[in-house]
Amino acid sequence: MPQEYTIKRITRQNKVSKSSGKPYESIGLQLAEFGAEWINGFGNQETNSWKEGDVIAVVIEDNVYNGKTTKQFKLQKRATTGTNTQFETIIHYLKENQRALLEIGGMLKTKQTDYPKAEGEPPF
């Protein structure tokens, strides 16, 4: 569960992954609640606006890499909720359009009428 922390210092570095070759942004944070210890994580649209003095909500976890323990921050996963909401909006829109098209289709159907059969040749 995310907790709130205050940013004392923030650093940003653009890097390239050695394994995939993809670029990413590395964020380093010093938080008031952790003193001089640096907490690292990845940048994204949400972190772009972070600045010193901001109160942020993150999850902080210990990470062990090559025998060294460091702290990492992670953001609360909001994409799933946002994505579900977007899908629900799209589905609602499609259902409304489908309903409207069915109504229009019903109005366009010609009414079947039994016309009398013509006898003989037409008068023209």
The DSSP element (H or E) to which 92 belongs, if any, is helix 79-108
What local confidence, expressed as pLDDT, does residue 9 receive? Answer: 97
Render each residue's pLDDT in the chain as its tens digit; 124 residues: 889 999 999 999 999 999 999 999 999 999 999 999 999 999 998 899 999 999 999 999 999 989 999 999 998 765 555 567 778 888 888 888 888 888 787 766 666 666 677 777 776 6
Tokens of 76: 């609360």
Q: Characterize 78-114 residue by residue with b for buried, 16 or more Cβ atoms within 10 angstroms of its Cβ, and e for exposed.
A: eeeeeeeeeeeeeeeeeeeeeeeeeeeeeeeeeeeee
Is 12 in contact with 27 (CB distance < 8 Å)?
yes
Task: Report the C-alpha gap between 87 and 109 in whole angstroms.
Answer: 33
Q: Name the CATH superfamily housing domain 3-74.
A: Nucleic acid-binding proteins (2.40.50.140)
Task: Report the C-alpha gap between 87 and 105 in whole angstroms.
Answer: 26
Task: Report the C-alpha gap between 64 and 75 in whole angstroms.
Answer: 19
pTM of the predicted model as reported, rounded to 2 decimal places = 0.59
What local confidence, expressed as pLDDT, does residue 81 receive? Answer: 52
